Amino acid sequence: MADRRPQGRDEGDQALKVVEDACEAHLAEWKHRKVGTLGDLGCFSLQNGKALTCGEGGAIVGNDERTMDLCYAFHNLGRPHGKSMPQDRGGHPVLGSKCRMAEYQASILMTQMETVEDQMRRRNENADYLSPRLAEIPGVVPRREHPGATRTAYYYYGFRYKRERFDGLPRDRFLAALSAEGIPASKGLGVIEGKPMPREGVLESTFASKTFRRIYPDLGIERYREENLCPECDRLCEETVGFHQRLLLGARADMDDICTAILKIRDNRQKLL
């Protein structure tokens, strides 16, 4: 979890609303306070890979009645909702979408309320067991949490793969070997076809478009790259290996299997080159 201290708003400034992206952080905590409650609004994803899921959709939480009424109206065709909005019959005081959740999706979520806390605890216990054991393997650097993160959601458990400590074994071959050992790992997010975000082709075409040049004549792609290239972030993306939260729901023996598989690959790294 990143540093979640309030950013971008002076004390007492109520005009600027802070919307917290807690997409994959169900039940995570920052200094014993639930993630999603640190801003004016907290947004969670309920897509099919998340720790709490109904297949698709999401949820918004907040304490301000006016703001929450607006959120409800936005997802319900802009129709008024709650005491803070005019209740003219048939009126649409704001623009809105038609993104209403179905009752059967809500029922799927409600049944998970009985298990989500226990699953969260198991993920954290298994991660706490796994990390120091991975740290003993040369070339594997487990993730470290910020001191303020008192509870982690572990949607994705990642570690850094130092290929130079594996005699230069490419990360793709390392991942293939892990898969062969029954460990479904991936390289995570951030690099597409070997290109960090500021060098993606979609940005090239956007900056070259007539509309963009008309609106932002002084913002060229070279300037953008200079201001947005993050070499340390790129390096992290190139080294990341990890797996989905489902693996952390396994038994303690499953965590041992992950370590055993990586040790086996390291011991046989020359055969994989």
Q: What is the DSSP string of 137-165?
A: STTEEE----TTEEE---SEEEEEE-GGG
Tell me the pLDDT tens digit for each residue of 50-95.
Answer: 999 998 899 999 999 999 999 999 998 888 888 877 766 567 788 8
Answer whether 233's CB lies under 8 Å from 190's CB.
Answer: yes
* Pairwise CA distance, residues 152 & 35, whole Å: 10
First to last CA, the chain: 35
- pTM for this model (two decimals): 0.83
CATH number assigned to the domain covering 19-114:
3.40.640.10
The predicted-structure confidence for 161-182, as pLDDT tens digits, reads as follows 999 999 999 999 999 999 999 9
Q: 209 or 2: whose pLDDT is higher? A: 209
Which residue in 226, 170, 172, 218 sits closest to 199, CA to CA? Answer: 226
Residues of the chain with CATH 3.90.1150.10: 117-272
117-272 CATH? 3.90.1150.10
**What's the pLDDT at 223?**
82
> What's the order of all strands across the beta sheet hosting 156-161?
140-142, 156-161, 240-244
> What is the rounded CA–CA span in Å between residue 234 and residue 230?
6
**Which residue ranges does the chain devote to CATH 3.40.640.10?**
19-114
Look over the chain and give the mean of its residue pLDDT values, rounded to a whole number.
Answer: 88
Contacts of 253 (CB under 8 A, 6+ apart): none
